[in-house]
C-alpha cells in the first residue's frame, strides 16, 4: 500500500527523476512554455513555482539554492533578472497547465506548462459586484479633434454653449419620470 507516499515515480529512479525535474523547470524558466505530458507537468509545476519564489526572494542564499537544483547559471540568471521581477506582486500561481489532447504516437495526454503572463487582477466579491454603480449613460459624441497641432493652435475654441443650459433639460427629463413614479406610488 502507498499510504502517505507523496509524489509521482514516473517510471524512473530517484536520480533520473530529479534530473528530469531540473531540466523541465529550467526549460520552463528559459522558454516560458514547454510541451510535455500531463503527469510530468503536474509533477514539475510546484518545483518551478518554488524556483520562482526563490527568485522573488532574490538574496544570495536563494540564488545558491536555485543553482544547486537547476544546475545552470544562465537559467538562474534569467530567473533572478527577468522572470522573478515580473511576479513581484503576485502571491503565487506563476504557471498553468493547458491540456492539448493525446499524442499521436502513444496517445499520452499532452499539455503545455506555461508561465502566466497577464497581470494579477483583484477578484471582485459578490458584495462588491452588488454595490457597484450602474454603468453611466453614453455621452453625446465629442467634436472631432483637430488633425494637426497647427490647427489646434490656430483655431481657438468656438463659443461653447453654457453647460447649465444643456443640463437643465436633462435634469427635468430625469425628474419627470421620478415625479410620475412617486405620484403612482401615492395613488
pTM to 2 decimal places = 0.63
Residue at 154 is within a domain: no
Q: Give the model's pLDDT for residue 90.
A: 93
Q: What is the CATH number of the domain that holds 92?
A: 3.90.1030.10
Whether 27 has a pLDDT exceeding 80, the answer reads: yes
Written as one string, the DSSP assignment of 95-115 is EEEEEEEE-TTT--EEEEEEE
Residue 126, C-alpha cell as written in the block: 459578490
Model confidence pLDDT, tens digit, residues 80-95: 999 999 999 999 999 9
Domain residues for 66? 14-115
What's the chain's average pLDDT? 81
Q: Which residue has the cell 502566466?
A: 116
Average pLDDT over residues 62-72: 96
Residue at 106 is within a domain: yes
Average pLDDT over residues 101-110: 96
Cα–Cα distance for residue pair 182/94, rounded to 1 Å: 54
Residue at 4 is within a domain: no
Give the number of domains in the chain: 1
Q: Give the model's pLDDT for residue 187.
A: 45
Cα–Cα distance for residue pair 157/57, rounded to 1 Å: 55
Model confidence pLDDT, tens digit, residues 125-166: 777 666 666 555 555 544 555 556 555 555 555 555 555 555
Residue 86, C-alpha cell as written in the block: 515580473
Look at residues 83, 31, 16, 24 and name the one whose alpha carbon lies nearest to residue 53. 83
Residue at 145 is within a domain: no
CA distances from 80 to 23, 87, 150 (A): 17, 11, 48
Whether 70 has a pLDDT exceeding 70, the answer reads: yes
Q: Give the model's pLDDT for residue 84.
A: 95
Whether 13 has a pLDDT exceeding 60, the answer reads: yes
Amino acid at each position: 500500500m502507498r499510504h502517505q507516499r507523496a509524489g509521482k515515480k514516473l517510471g524512473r529512479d530517484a536520480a533520473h527523476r530529479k534530473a528530469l525535474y531540473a531540466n523541465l523547470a529550467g526549460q520552463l524558466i528559459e522558454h516560458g512554455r514547454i510541451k510535455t505530458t500531463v503527469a510530468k507537468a503536474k509533477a514539475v509545476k510546484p518545483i518551478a513555482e518554488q524556483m520562482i519564489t526563490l527568485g522573488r526572494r532574490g538574496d544570495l542564499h536563494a540564488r545558491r539554492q536555485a543553482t544547486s537544483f537547476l544546475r545552470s547559471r544562465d537559467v538562474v540568471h534569467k530567473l533572478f533578472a527577468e522572470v522573478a521581477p515580473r511576479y513581484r506582486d503576485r502571491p503565487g500561481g506563476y504557471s498553468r497547465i493547458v491540456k492539448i489532447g493525446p499524442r499521436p504516437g502513444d496517445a499520452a495526454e499532452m499539455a503545455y506548462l506555461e508561465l502566466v503572463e497577464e497581470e494579477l487582477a483583484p477578484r471582485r466579491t459578490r458584495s462588491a459586484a452588488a454595490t457597484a454603480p450602474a454603468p453611466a449613460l453614453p455621452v453625446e459624441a465629442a467634436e472631432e479633434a483637430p488633425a494637426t497641432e497647427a490647427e489646434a493652435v490656430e483655431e481657438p475654441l468656438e463659443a461653447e454653449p453654457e453647460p447649465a443650459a444643456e443640463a437643465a433639460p436633462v435634469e427635468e427629463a430625469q425628474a419627470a419620470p421620478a415625479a410620475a413614479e412617486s405620484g403612482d406610488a401615492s395613488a
